[in-house]
Structure 1
Amino acid sequence: MKIRTLATLLVLMSLNGVAQAEKQLIDYFKPMELQGPLVSEGIWGETNVLPRDIKNGLEDPDMKTWCYWDGRVVKDDDGRFHFYGCGWDQKYSHDAGWKLNSKAIHAVADDIMGPYENPVLMWPHWQEGEGSNVIGLRMHDGRWAAVSSETTEGEIFTSDSPYGPWSLLGKIKVDLNGFEPGLARYQRKTMPSYGHMANVKILLRPDGRYMLVPRSCCVMISDDGILGPYKIMNDRVYKPYPELPQTKNEDPTVWHSGGIYHIVYNHWPSKISHHFTSIDGITDWKYRGIAFTKEQNDKVFRYPDGSFDDWIYVERMTACVDEETDHVTHFIFSVLDVKKGWDQGNDNHGSKIVVVPFDGEAFDANMQRIIDAEKKAAQ
């Protein structure tokens, strides 16, 4: 069933009794404090993203070298912030760049908001630095890890330092556990069988296990380390909700905060992102409503003066959770100023990484109130 408009979706959720929070995830985004002046002259982009703070996140302001995409930010023991993601030579169009030239990129900042500087290839010795859907994380043993998927097969690289060097640990292993192979890996036209993983997000669970959520939005658990095997534990989290789109969903992000597991994914045709929660991160995933939509950019990418950047594509969301407070402090987004087919090589268009502050403490408190009320009603 296709959901064509936000209004239609809201009506359907009401008719089907979907539990809606008093406030949605989008209500907890905070203004992006300025890391530099808002500028328009001499930088790339359509007027919908001008003026903007080019020191927020990671970007090539004159679009001479890199377009950036994907990624996660991880804090090191010295208080510095490391961006692990990918980029491609701006001479490629967006559609060609991520397929043909995507490289794993590392950049560093003293402030989580940016600017992230001195971008370098993470593993230039391996397939000329190829990497896509790249994210970074700390493993349970304290070492650093980075994951690549989509254009690669689902490799994990490790290092004793956040700066590298990076060594290939191996490819992610999967235990289908009776489920279909397509939940973990998918077929490309050039592949005779299921091969690549895509949109891989890995989470360190408090119980010492690793949790993996791929493009399909199922949950996979490893009891045997970061390589797995990851056992598929359930079908797509949205499958029990037929009123939601059942195809063309992608870009899941997963996090644990306030004692609750969260998944947000994007339905790319409608540009609507949906939010689910679970107490144990495996069973009973409940739909919590719309996380945000393209039409709500004024609530997400806004500055303290009330102005905002109206990015045409907003994808690849990841969460930054403070280890001490167990609350999300920021979200990371990959953004593009025009439609993907309009971003050609050597032009005035491109993509960057944006960092947006988030009131995770208030968000977690509200989610806990909702869950407590549900438990009470079920008694």
Structure 2
Amino acid sequence: MNVKNYVVYAAAWMVIAASADEKKSLVDYFLPMEPRGALVSEGIWGDPNVLPRDINNGLEDAKLENWCYWDGRIVQSDDGKFHLYASRWPQSMAHGVGWKAGSKGMHAVSNHIMGPYKDQGLIYPQWQGGRGHNLIGLRMHDGRYAVVTSEITEGEIFVSDTPEGPFELLGKIEVDENGFNKGLARYTNRESPSYGHMSNVKVLLRHDGRYMIIPRSTAPMVSDEGILGPYKIMNGRIYENYPDLPQTQNEDPTVWYSGGMYHVVYNHWPSKTSHHFSSIDGITDWKYRGIAFKKDETKIFRYTDGTVNDWQYIERPTAYLDEQTGHVTHFIFSVIDVKKGQDRANDNHASKIVVVPFDGEAFDRDMQALVKAEKEAE
């Protein structure tokens, strides 16, 4: 973190601390999970560190009859139902093989945002057998539903008039490098089979009517021409002005707009640490807001009775924003009970998608106060 930014940041937090017992970071706004059913230990997969757990929270194949689940974003339809667009692969594949060779885009539905979500099958089976990863869903500006796939595909978007489909290929995301390194948007290693692919793509409907992408690099990209782009690379990596933060091995960004500002959380996977940034315009002046959560220091997955599930890997965070209130109310995570290399074919280990409630109203209030204090301290 450069000295000027650090001084302003510290001064602002001193103002906030004057009216609060302690400085808060994003992790402090996660709330305990109200179980959607009894916490279960017997007859389900998982190491003791994730038992007992609520198998009705989110999406999982509790008895490992078929699938491992990953990725995802929740979209609410006009009838009040919640639709989770994510990826899955056969549990007969090890994790390291499944996400690369067997991952396909799928759709699940629930009457409650916390779950349980019921697997409805593949989203677009007519295209490459449904192949897809880094799956997310969203509502477009015109009200249609869209799903996005990247990483093991080039970066395609499928659309439908209804949340159930059928989803048809709209096209591939286009990028305008705009004078920046093209590697900020797509893989550039020509020796890799994924050369030219986008990765970790998160699409956001901006408050100004444009579309925005935060890819794996975290470089903001904006389209004035619609959801397919072309997206202009508008800036470099959001953390590049903070040399004390890891500059490589970062992934899995999520982006949202609330409280009059844009937020990005991304994961530094070797340290299992996620970092939080904010910006007023979503393009420039990204400010570091501290550690969002850290695997061995913060416990996100705690239930109202005090039980804690200690997942080995916590990845693919995605914020769910309530359109009525304008606040984030939940986050979803892809989690696995053991190290990825220890999740083998037809064993007792797997991955699932977990939904965690979040006090977005308090978060936005405190962030607005922080930004105001920063301006006063300049």
Which residue in the other structure is 2:83 paired with?
A: 82
- Give the CA deviation at 1:259: 1.1
Greater Cα shift, 119-128 or 358-367: 119-128
Which residue in the other structure is 1:311 paired with?
A: 311
- Give the CA deviation at 1:324: 1.2
- 2:19 is equivalent to residue 19 of structure 1: no
- 2:272 is equivalent to residue 282 of structure 1: no
Between the aligned partners of 1:344 and 1:80, the Cα distance in structure 2 is 34
Which residue in the other structure is 2:16 paired with?
A: none
Which residue in the other structure is 1:333 paired with?
A: 333
Q: Is the 8 A contact 1:297 1:309 kept in 2?
A: no
- 2:250 is equivalent to residue 244 of structure 1: no
Between the aligned partners of 2:292 and 2:42, the Cα distance in structure 1 is 33
Which residue in the other structure is 1:125 paired with?
A: 126
Q: Is the 8 A contact 1:18 1:288 kept in 2?
A: no
Partner SS for 1:372: helix
- Counting only pairs closer than 5 Å after superposition, residues 177-326 of structure 1 correspond to structure 2 as 177-188=178-189, 190-191=191-192, 194-298=195-299, 300-326=300-326
Which residue in the other structure is 1:102 paired with?
A: 103
Partner SS for 1:77: coil
Between the aligned partners of 2:352 and 2:274, the Cα distance in structure 1 is 20
Between the aligned partners of 2:179 and 2:310, the Cα distance in structure 1 is 44
Which residue in the other structure is 1:6 paired with?
A: none
Q: Is the 8 A contact 2:33 2:304 kept in 1?
A: yes
Q: TM-score, normalised by structure 2?
A: 0.94
Partner SS for 1:32: coil
Between the aligned partners of 1:145 and 1:377, the Cα distance in structure 2 is 43
Between the aligned partners of 2:193 and 2:119, the Cα distance in structure 1 is 40
Between the aligned partners of 1:331 and 1:231, the Cα distance in structure 2 is 28
Between the aligned partners of 2:216 and 2:305, the Cα distance in structure 1 is 37
Which residue in the other structure is 1:145 paired with?
A: 146
Q: Is the 8 A contact 1:257 1:326 kept in 2?
A: yes
CA RMSD between the two structures: 1.7
Pick closer, same or farther for the CA change 1:14–1:282 going to 2, 3 Å. Answer: closer
Partner SS for 2:316: strand
| Amino acid aligned to 1:48 | N
- Give the CA deviation at 1:187: 3.3
Partner SS for 1:270: coil
Pick closer, same or farther for the CA change 1:13–1:244 going to 2, 3 Å. Answer: farther
Deviation readout 1:111-143 (Å, 9 max, x if unpaired): 000000133100111101101000000000000
- Counting only pairs closer than 5 Å after superposition, residues 31-180 of structure 1 correspond to structure 2 as 31-180=32-181
Between the aligned partners of 2:274 and 2:8, the Cα distance in structure 1 is 16
Partner SS for 1:19: helix
Which residue in the other structure is 1:354 paired with?
A: 354
Between the aligned partners of 2:77 and 2:297, the Cα distance in structure 1 is 33
| Amino acid aligned to 1:151 | I
Deviation readout 1:318-370 (Å, 9 max, x if unpaired): 00001111100000000000000000010000000000000000000000000
Q: Is the 8 A contact 2:30 2:356 kept in 1?
A: yes
- Counting only pairs closer than 5 Å after superposition, residues 366-377 of structure 1 correspond to structure 2 as 366-377=366-377
| Amino acid aligned to 2:123 | M
Q: Is the 8 A contact 2:106 2:120 kept in 1?
A: yes
Between the aligned partners of 2:53 and 2:148, the Cα distance in structure 1 is 31
- 2:335 is equivalent to residue 345 of structure 1: no
Gaps of at least 5 residues in structure 1 are 1-8
Pick closer, same or farther for the CA change 1:192–1:303 going to 2, 3 Å. Answer: closer
Pick closer, same or farther for the CA change 1:261–1:42 going to 2, 3 Å. Answer: same
Between the aligned partners of 2:168 and 2:220, the Cα distance in structure 1 is 27
Q: Is the 8 A contact 1:179 1:232 kept in 2?
A: yes
Deviation readout 1:155-190 (Å, 9 max, x if unpaired): 000000000000000000000000001000013564
Between the aligned partners of 1:343 and 1:192, the Cα distance in structure 2 is 24
Which residue in the other structure is 1:5 paired with?
A: none
Q: TM-score, normalised by structure 1?
A: 0.94
Pick closer, same or farther for the CA change 1:13–1:68 going to 2, 3 Å. Answer: farther
| Amino acid aligned to 1:345 | A
Between the aligned partners of 1:281 and 1:69, the Cα distance in structure 2 is 27
Q: Is the 8 A contact 1:66 1:89 kept in 2?
A: yes
| Amino acid aligned to 1:19 | Y
Deviation readout 1:51-76 (Å, 9 max, x if unpaired): 00000000000011000000000111
- Give the CA deviation at 1:297: 4.6
**Overall identity of the aligned pairs, in %:** 66
Deviation readout 1:259-292 (Å, 9 max, x if unpaired): 1100000000000000000001111000000000
Q: Is the 8 A contact 2:221 2:231 kept in 1?
A: yes
- Give the CA deviation at 1:376: 1.3
Q: Is the 8 A contact 1:74 1:137 kept in 2?
A: yes
Gaps of at least 5 residues in structure 2 are 14-22
